[in-house]
């Protein structure tokens, strides 16, 4: 019986890397970030609604959503963030559910890659939750380096989410990513072996 696994983490915890590794082991990944972009893609009803709420400036010259403008608005006006979520979330859920159903119908184990799984209280929609874990200090360091942010800016992004340590206590399984990519790969394979997704000779999950 195929399983539906919710994969989550904190910002800059390394979740995307784990997603790629799981794909290599035969899992099918349904990515919330990709679905979010599709929900407000060029010419979609979602984008039309965004334009109605945020104005013409919400659309760039190519007809796509002006993400920097909308991002700035919702950062400074929390009530607009709620409105955006009301537009986008139902569409995203539909996209992800359809994709999940296709993969399950084909017999695959499915990874629901959802950055804000706990924040949006979605843990009941999956069979298990796997958390990619690193420390807050590492999150901050990685964000500063990756996004060229000040320490204050990086901390603000990290602290806008449920703390990684609280998420650790809420998850069914934890994949440690406090060290090298090689060790992350080994930690993931240890979990897959323990849970029966791969054999000891590292055959791919079916």
Residue 8 is assigned to a ligand binding site: no
Residue 16 is assigned to a ligand binding site: yes
Residue 12 is assigned to a ligand binding site: yes
Residue 14 is assigned to a ligand binding site: yes
Distance spanning both ends of the chain, measured CA to CA = 11
Residue 6 is assigned to a ligand binding site: no
Residue 101 is assigned to a ligand binding site: no
Positions at the binding site for ATP:
12-17
Positions at the binding site:
12-17
């Amino acid at each position: 019986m195929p399983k539906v696994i919710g994969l989550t983490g904190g910002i800059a915890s390394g979740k995307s890397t784990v997603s790629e590794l799981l794909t290599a082991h035969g899992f099918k990944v349904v990515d919330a970030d990709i679905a979010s972009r599709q929900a407000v893609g060029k010419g979609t009803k979602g984008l039309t609604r965004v334009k109605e709420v945020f104005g013409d400036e919400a659309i760039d010259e190519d007809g796509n959503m002006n993400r920097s403008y909308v991002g700035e608005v919702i950062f400074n006006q929390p009530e607009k963030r709620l409105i955006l979520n009301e537009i986008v979330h139902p569409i995203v859920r539909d996209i992800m559910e359809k994709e999940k159903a296709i993969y399950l119908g084909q017999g695959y184990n499915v990874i629901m890659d959802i950055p804000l799984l706990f924040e949006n209280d979605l843990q009941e929609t999956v069979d298990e939750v796997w958390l990619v874990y690193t420390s807050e200090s590492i999150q901050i360091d990685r964000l500063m380096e990756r996004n060229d942010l000040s320490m204050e800016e990086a901390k603000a992004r990290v602290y806008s989410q449920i703390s990684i340590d609280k998420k650790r206590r809420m998850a069914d399984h934890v994949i440690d990513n406090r060290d090298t990519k090689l060790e992350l790969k080994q930690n993931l394979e240890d979990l897959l072996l323990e849970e029966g997704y791969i054999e000891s000779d590292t055959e791919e999950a079916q």
